[in-house]
C-alpha cells in the first residue's frame, strides 16, 4: 500500500479557518497535486465575501463566511487549518473550541503561536500541529517546519507529512526552533523577491527594458538555486567559480560587502525570528 493510501488523506475533509494568502497557497498546492478533491475542502473567512467568491471560482472549493453556518464545516472536518493573522488568532480560535472533538487534527500556520497557547485556547487534549510553511507551497515548492503536540497520533503525523510533502519539503523540528524557521524559510521567499526587485531596478538603470530585465533576473535566480541543488556544491564554492580574479564579479561582491549586504541579511533574518517570538509572547500575554 502506498504511503498516500495509508494516510487516508484522499477521503478526509479539510477546513481552512482563515482564507488568505497562506491558506490559498496550501489549498492550491493540495488540489494541484491531486491529493485532495476541491469538494472536500472548505475555506472560511471573517468578512471578505468577494475573496471567498474568487476562491470558489478559482478552485471549486466550498466557501463560507464566519457565522453560524460555518459550524457544520468546522465540525465535519478531519483537519482544520488555522490560517488567520496572529492578531486575530486568540479570538477566532477560542470561538471554535466548543465545536471541536478530540479526533480532529488542528494544523496551525500562525507565526509565533506556540502549542501551549493553542492548547490553552482549544483544550489540552486536542491534537495540534504547529507548522511554518511558505507561499511557494502554491507550486509544490514550499518549505515547511513541522512540530507536534503530544496528542498527535502516528496516523495524524503521517497525514501531516504526506500533505506537506505533496506541496514541497518538510522538516520536523523541535518546537523551540519554529521561530528560527520563520526567519529562514517562512519569511524567506520575500528576501529573494526583495533581491530580485533590486536586481531588476539595477538592470533597468543599466539600460535593459523591463521584460529583458525580468527574464534575465528570474532565470539567474532559478539557475543559481538549481545549481546548488543539482550539483551538490556549496553556494560558496559555486560563487568562487563565477568570480574571476580582479574581474567583474569580484568588483560587485567587494562593493556589496563594503555596503554591508551579508550582515544585513543575517541581521534581517534574526529580526524576523525575533519578531515571531514577540508575536507569540503577545498572544500568550493576551490569553493569560
In the sheet with 14-17, reading across from the earlier edge strand, the strands are 62-65, 41-45, 14-17, 79-82, 105-108, 128-132, 142-148, 168-172
| 103 known ligand binder | no
Q: Which of 93, 182, 184, 217 binds ligand A1CAB (CB under 6 A)?
A: 182
* Residue 25 near ligand A1CAB by CB under 6 A: no
CB of 137 to ligand NDP, least distance (A): 9
Which range of residues in 2-10, 75-83, 162-170, 181-189 is near ligand A1CAB by CB under 6 A?
Answer: 181-189
157 contacts 128 by C-beta, under 8 angstroms: no
Task: Give whichever of 7 and 117 is closer to ligand A1CAB, judged by the CB atom.
Answer: 117
Is there a binding annotation on residue 48? no
Residue 274 binding result from ligand A1CAB, ligand NDP, none, given CB thresholds of 5 to 8 Å by partner type: none
Which does residue 21 bind out of ligand A1CAB, ligand NDP, none, counting CB within 5 to 8 angstroms by kind?
A: ligand NDP
d(CA 15, CA 3): 22
Pick the binder of ligand A1CAB from 145, 168, 186, 280 (CB under 6 A): 186
Residue nearest to ligand A1CAB (CB): 186
| 119 C-beta neighbours (distance < 10 Å), count | 17
Whether 92 and 113 have beta carbons less than 8 Å apart is answered as: no
Residue 155 has a CB neighbour count (10 Å cut-off) of 12
Nearest residue (CB) to ligand NDP, 47 versus 226? 47
User: What angle do helix axes 235-242 and 248-258 make, rounded to 10 degrees?
Assistant: 130
CB of 245 to ligand NDP, least distance (A): 40
CA distances 183 to 190, 219, 269, Å, are 11, 25, 5
| Minimum distance of ligand NDP from residue 87's CB (angstroms) | 9
H/E run at residue 261: helix 261-287
Residues 6+ apart with CB under 8 A from 83: 16, 17, 18, 19, 20, 22, 23, 26, 109, 110
**Which one, 20 or 268, has the nearer CB to ligand NDP?**
20
Q: What minimum distance in Å lies between the beta carbon of 211 and ligand A1CAB?
A: 29
Q: Judge contact between 25 and 135, C-beta under 8 A.
A: yes
Binding site listing for NADP(+)? 83-86
List contacts with ligand A1CAB (CB under 6 A).
111, 182, 186-187
Binding site listing for NADPH? 70
Amino acid at each position: 500500500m502506498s504511503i498516500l493510501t495509508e494516510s487516508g488523506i484522499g477521503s478526509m475533509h479539510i477546513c481552512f479557518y482563515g482564507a488568505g494568502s497562506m491558506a490559498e497557497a496550501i489549498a492550491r498546492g493540495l488540489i494541484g497535486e491531486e491529493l485532495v478533491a476541491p469538494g472536500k475542502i472548505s475555506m472560511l473567512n471573517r468578512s471578505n465575501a468577494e475573496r471567498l467568491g474568487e476562491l470558489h471560482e478559482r478552485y471549486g472549493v466550498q466557501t463560507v463566511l464566519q457565522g453560524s453556518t460555518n459550524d457544520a464545516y468546522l465540525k465535519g472536518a478531519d483537519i482544520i487549518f488555522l490560517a488567520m493573522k496572529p492578531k486575530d488568532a486568540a479570538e477566532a480560535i477560542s470561538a471554535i473550541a466548543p465545536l471541536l472533538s478530540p479526533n480532529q487534527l488542528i494544523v496551525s500556520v500562525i507565526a509565533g503561536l506556540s502549542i501551549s497557547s493553542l492548547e490553552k485556547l482549544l483544550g489540552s487534549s486536542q491534537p495540534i500541529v504547529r507548522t511554518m510553511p511558505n507561499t511557494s507551497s502554491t507550486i509544490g515548492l514550499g518549505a515547511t517546519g513541522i512540530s507536534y503536540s503530544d496528542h498527535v497520533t502516528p496516523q495524524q503525523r503521517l497525514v501531516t507529512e504526506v500533505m506537506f510533502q505533496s506541496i514541497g519539503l518538510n522538516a520536523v523540528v523541535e518546537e523551540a526552533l519554529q521561530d528560527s524557521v520563520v526567519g529562514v524559510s517562512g519569511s524567506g521567499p520575500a528576501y529573494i523577491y526583495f533581491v530580485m526587485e533590486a536586481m531588476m531596478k539595477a538592470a533597468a538603470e543599466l539600460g535593459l527594458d523591463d521584460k529583458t530585465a525580468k527574464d534575465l533576473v528570474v532565470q539567474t535566480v532559478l539557475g543559481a538555486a538549481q545549481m546548488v541543488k543539482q550539483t551538490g556544491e556549496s553556494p560558496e564554492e559555486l560563487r568562487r567559480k563565477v568570480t574571476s580574479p580582479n574581474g567583474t564579479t569580484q568588483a560587485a561582491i567587494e562593493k556589496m560587502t563594503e555596503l554591508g549586504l551579508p550582515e544585513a541579511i543575517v541581521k534581517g533574518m534574526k529580526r524576523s525570528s525575533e519578531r515571531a517570538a514577540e508575536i507569540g509572547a503577545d498572544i500568550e500575554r493576551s490569553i493569560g
